[in-house]
Homo-oligomer: A and B are copies of this chain.
Amino acid sequence: MSQSGLNMSRRIRRTPYTDRVEAHGVRGFSVVNHMLLPKAFAPTVEDDYWHLRENVQIWDVSCQRQVEITGPDASKLVQSMTPRDLRKAQFGQGLYIPLIDDAAGMLNDPVLQKLDNDRFWLSIADSDILLWAKGLAYGMRLDVQIEEPDVSPLAVQGPKAIALMANLFGHKIHDLPYFGFAMFDVLGTRQLIARSGYSKQGGFEIYLQGGHLGTALWDMIWEEGQKYNIAPGCPNLIERIEGGLMSYGNEFTRANNPLECGFGPLCHLGSEIDYIGKTALQRIANIGPTQRLSGVRFGGGKAPPCGKPFPLTTLDGEEVGQITSGIFSPRFDCNIGLSMIARSHWDIGTSLMVHTPDGIARRASVAALPFTHDG
């Protein structure tokens, strides 16, 4: 067993950066896509949070695996997997896309990158989309190859990320729009860099192709980062919840449809495109969703870690949702959480109760996402 208490094995894959992450004294890991994701470095998650908001961090997000779909039918397969209209998708523009099954249940929420007319990367959350895509391709007799390439994203996040990245990769870094990507010279190779990341503090992700370059890339960023007070980091629970960033498996699962997850604006319901689950999604749209992903503020002092969902009830004790991710926000000076909330109680400002495992019933109110000082 490792120092972190998580048993290491080949099955739970190390990344090209794990040696460096361990050398920096990582305090724990999670597992995403059968791969290690660092979960804490600084003594507390609040220390990590403040550092991320003010400086720059380097994150090993290799677990954002790519499902590469290539071949004459690649475009057809990718469109069949998502309700988002991809007809205008183009190189250089990352697209956040819900993936759904034939019952309109959420399977994943990757970022799609169109590398060419017949070549796509899906940068996935925690489910084996490679198997879903391969099953579809086999059954539909599509002419595609589907693989997991040797690509391990490394994120550089925080307000000082842009200066750091421009120093290393040139002024062209400034030209990238949010979610945009381009190819850059990195360690003598051509690599995809996107202006993206799982925080709202700004930053970039380097989709490093070639794991053997991992240590050199880490070290190059680390060295240049010294003048920006760089620290090792990872997706930060406080910052993520404040920003309203969802996590597949936490806030939503296959039991949820994209409309209740807030993907409505990305879902094309007209006749121009066709995709798996369209009929089911149209039916849901006609009735209207019965619940919606929302923010919840709750008091009662610092809540315990949200390892199991916290029941969310009316003042009378009727369950109307559950907090699936929650933590104390030092900036808002209260607990904040994410929850699907039943239609009857989803209006902003509705008074509710959160029941934490320490036995405390906490006053709560529904809040807009992302959390703001006004909302």
What's the Cα separation between A249 and B7 when bound, in Å?
Answer: 14
Give chain B residues whose Cβ lies under 8 Å from the Cβ of A107.
131
Asked if A133 CB lies within 8 Å of chain B CBs, one says yes
Whole-angstrom distance between the Cβ of A361 and the nearest chain B Cβ: 21
> CB distance B34 to A5 under 8 Å?
no
Asked if A192 CB lies within 8 Å of chain B CBs, one says no
Give chain B residues whose Cβ lies under 8 Å from the Cβ of A28.
1, 5-7
Most buried by B among A10, A39, A324: A10
Interface of A: prevailing SS: loop
> CB distance B10 to A250 under 8 Å?
yes
Give chain B residues whose Cβ lies under 8 Å from the Cβ of A140.
138-139
Whole-angstrom distance between the Cβ of A106 and the nearest chain B Cβ: 12
Whole-angstrom distance between the Cβ of A245 and the nearest chain B Cβ: 14
Asked if A305 CB lies within 8 Å of chain B CBs, one says yes
| Residues 1-49 of A contacting B (Cβ, < 8 Å) | 1-12, 14, 27-31, 34, 39-40
What's the Cα separation between A102 and B134 when bound, in Å?
Answer: 9
What's the Cα separation between A141 and B6 when bound, in Å?
Answer: 41
Asked if A371 CB lies within 8 Å of chain B CBs, one says no
> CB distance A308 to B10 under 8 Å?
yes
Q: Mark A104-133, 1 if CB is under 8 A from B, else 0.
A: 000100000000000000000011110111
User: Of B6, B138, B307, which is within 8 A of A9 by CB?
Assistant: B307
Asked if A136 CB lies within 8 Å of chain B CBs, one says yes
> CB distance A10 to B132 under 8 Å?
no
Whole-angstrom distance between the Cβ of A370 and the nearest chain B Cβ: 20
User: Of B40, B136, B139, B249, which is within 8 A of A11 by CB?
Assistant: B249
Asked if A309 CB lies within 8 Å of chain B CBs, one says yes
> CB distance A27 to B5 under 8 Å?
yes
Give chain B residues whose Cβ lies under 8 Å from the Cβ of A250.
9-11
A12 and B27 in contact (CB under 8 A), knowing A139-B138, A276-B138?
Answer: no
Asked if A325 CB lies within 8 Å of chain B CBs, one says yes
What's the Cα separation between A249 and B8 when bound, in Å?
Answer: 12
Q: List 24 A-B contacts (CB under 8 A).
A: A1-B40, A3-B5, A6-B6, A6-B29, A7-B28, A7-B30, A8-B307, A9-B250, A9-B325, A10-B306, A10-B308, A11-B250, A14-B308, A34-B126, A34-B127, A102-B138, A128-B131, A132-B134, A134-B135, A135-B138, A136-B136, A136-B139, A137-B139, A139-B140
Q: Chain A residues in contact with chain B, CB under 8 A?
A: 1-12, 14, 27-31, 34, 39-40, 101-102, 107, 126-129, 131-141, 247-250, 276, 305-309, 324-325
